[in-house]
Amino acid sequence: MATSVESTQSIVPTLVGGTWQPSVSTRNGEVFNPSSGKVIAQVPLCTEEETNAIVAAAAQALPDWGATPAVERARVMFKFRDLIEQHFEELAALVTREHGKTLPESRAEVQRGLEMVEFACAVPTMLMGDTLPNIAPSVDAETNRHPVGVCVGITPYNFPFMVPLWMFPVAIACGNTFVLKPSEKVPLSSVRLGELLVEAGLPDGVFNIAHGDRECVETLLNHPEVAAISFVGSTAIAKAIYETGTKNGKRVQAAGGAKNHLIIMPDADLEQSVKALAASAYGCAGQRCMAGSVAVAVGDVADPLVEQLCDYAGTMRVGPSDGDENVDMGPLIRREHLDRVSSYLDVASGEGAEVALDGRGDFGSDGFLLGPCVIDRVAPQMRVAQEEIFGPVLSVVRAADLESALEIGRNCPYGNGASIFTGSGYAAREFKQHFNAGMIGINVGVPAPMAWFPFTGWNQSFFGDLHIQGTESVHFYTRQKMTLTRWFRSAEESHVDPVWKTARK
Ligand code: NAD
């Protein structure tokens, strides 16, 4: 389909060693404004050669930055934090423009990203090691944390601002240098972050941006100077990144896709639950890795739940979000994605489920719009209950009791988030203890941890060991050194190794 161009065909630059450079690549991707359906920029898909040059710039900046006192590195983060706050509204508008989520949703995203920078500002405290004086006679033991080297971040389209900030503030504050490869669908927020980092006084080469697709990513995965890879995206790619990265001897944390369950018990506050379900399933048009995707209605709550959910979701205002504060739900990222998400309604009908609310319609816009959808009487083995749809589609599975709901979780290959809505402390506790997912909500629709807590996806939703966010991220971006120290009072004492002397006793 031919695309119209909204403004000038600006080509997004790369950031290499502190300089904004046009790419030499002859391959480009298109950046859309999903609200209008128009192209707003071209993004280069970097070649292997220029990706190598970007890593080289990061490697060159590493020794000086790693030797910069942690307190000074933190000061750059404080300035960066202030700049984000000063440009808060502009940044939220940019997220809405290239992604399509509503302005309030973009503001929430910028706020969550800002908190990651605030977390990174505390890095001097977080880098402190442990000591045990006199672990053996005259011997002191200590650990401390060192940067790992050049770190890479590869990010998805659904949080253009926040997900890059899950990674580089902590990595950089820990003394590493960084290459960010943002989603080629939404590169503009990352470029703006780079500009603000430069303005904050970050030395050249500490933060770099490469754009691209598979060629660029594979170059990064195979580059000998890259020490660590942080990835967020779909499960198939997360798994492949983890396998290749670790095979090449790199640290990898790779967050993947999700299928999140929302359990509604018969004793739940139904009005509150319906609002929370709608916010979870339809927020950001369902394009969140923590979006509720399967509602499990327990016992006799199913009929009133479906009825109230359809009534509530049916009144949501759907439209172009760019510049309109009154829209409840904006567009999907691309027309192909809209078509893919919509097709699940036919898949569900074909498998015997009932489409209780069909969001397909004419919204009087060329934006990639789809209204909220509810599919009722979904069986746990149906595709809509198993596959990540990543759009505003909520499937309702009816379960006899809590144990049946837990069983549905046990059979799910993903394991990001799950929530229960109940008035029973016992049910909440059983759910918290036994549901097969890493992030649990109790009467909370989107149990996404904030910066200070790790993003603890399980199963096929995460590949690796140390998660993104919280102190686990500091551990991911540092390696420990342990030092044993002994000083002798006299030459005579130095003939005995006190560690072994203690052990023999
Ligand atoms: P994606 O996997 O298509 O792309 C993610 C990144 O990988 C992009 O930078 C892309 O350029 C790159 N990439 C894509 N195909 C590649 C290939 N063949 N080889 C190498 N690199 C490749 O994901 P997306 O569509 O941008 O984002 C949506 C997905 O991200 C959803 O599955 C969502 O659940 C997931 N997500 C997960 C989390 C989490 O914390 N678990 C958070 C946000 C998004």
pLDDT interval class at 262 (50, 70, 90):
very high
What's the number of domains the chain is made of?
A: 2
pLDDT interval class at 503 (50, 70, 90):
low
> DSSP letter at 354?
E
User: Do 234 and 287 have their domain in common?
Assistant: no
Atom of ligand 1 nearest to the CA of 184: 11
Tokens of 265: 């018990």
User: Do 124 and 219 have their domain in common?
Assistant: yes
User: Do 157 and 275 have their domain in common?
Assistant: no
CA pair distance 225, 52, nearest whole angstrom: 9
Q: Is-contact 98 43, C-beta < 8 A?
A: no
Q: Is-contact 158 189, C-beta < 8 A?
A: no
Scanning 122-161, the segments in alpha helix (DSSP H) are 123-126
CATH code at position 363: 3.40.309.10
Within a domain: residue 410? yes
Catalytic option among 121, 174, 284, 289: 289
CA-proximal residue: ligand 1, atom 17 (nearest): 214
Tokens of 268: 């739940």
User: Do 81 and 17 have their domain in common?
Assistant: yes
CA-proximal residue: ligand 1, atom 36 (nearest): 233
CATH code at position 96: 3.40.605.10
CA pair distance 442, 454, nearest whole angstrom: 18
CA angle 213, 385, 330 (to 5 degrees): 55
User: Do 269 and 404 have their domain in common?
Assistant: yes
Question: Which residue's entry shows tokens 């053996």?
Answer: 136
Ligand 1 binding site (Cβ under 6 Å of any ligand atom): 154-159, 163, 181, 183-184, 213-214, 217, 232-234, 237, 255-258, 289, 388, 390, 416, 455, 457, 461
CA pair distance 230, 245, nearest whole angstrom: 10
User: Do 226 and 317 have their domain in common?
Assistant: no
Within a domain: residue 452? no
Q: Is-contact 501 138, C-beta < 8 A?
A: no
- In sequence order, the 6+-apart residues with CB closer than 8 A to the CB of 438 are 415, 416, 417, 456, 457, 458, 461, 462
CA pair distance 210, 150, nearest whole angstrom: 14
User: Do 166 and 79 have their domain in common?
Assistant: yes
Within a domain: residue 306? yes
Within a domain: residue 159? yes
pLDDT interval class at 497 (50, 70, 90):
low
> DSSP letter at 329?
B
Within a domain: residue 492? no
Question: Ligand 1: distance of its center to the CA of 220 in Å?
Answer: 16
CA pair distance 172, 80, nearest whole angstrom: 12
**289 part of the active site:** yes
Q: What would the pLDDT profile of 141-159 be if each residue is shown by its tens digit?
A: 999 999 999 999 999 999 9
User: Do 283 and 221 have their domain in common?
Assistant: no
User: Do 383 and 475 have their domain in common?
Assistant: no
Within a domain: residue 326? yes
Within a domain: residue 316? yes
Tokens of 176: 């590493």
CA pair distance 201, 79, nearest whole angstrom: 8
Q: What value does the mean pLDDT of the chain take?
A: 95
The domain of 108 spans: 10-256+469-483
Residue 270: is it exposed, middle or buried by C-beta count within 10 angstroms (0-12/13-18/19+)? middle
User: Do 201 and 288 have their domain in common?
Assistant: no
Q: What would the pLDDT profile of 359-396 be if each residue is shown by its tens digit?
A: 999 999 999 999 999 999 999 999 999 999 999 999 99
- In sequence order, the 6+-apart residues with CB closer than 8 A to the CB of 287 are 101, 157, 158, 332, 333, 390, 391
Tokens of 133: 């004086």
Within a domain: residue 156? yes
pLDDT at 197: 98
Tokens of 13: 């630059």
Residue 137: CB atoms within 10 A of its CB come to 12
Mean pLDDT of 85-95: 98
CA-proximal residue: ligand 1, atom 21 (nearest): 214
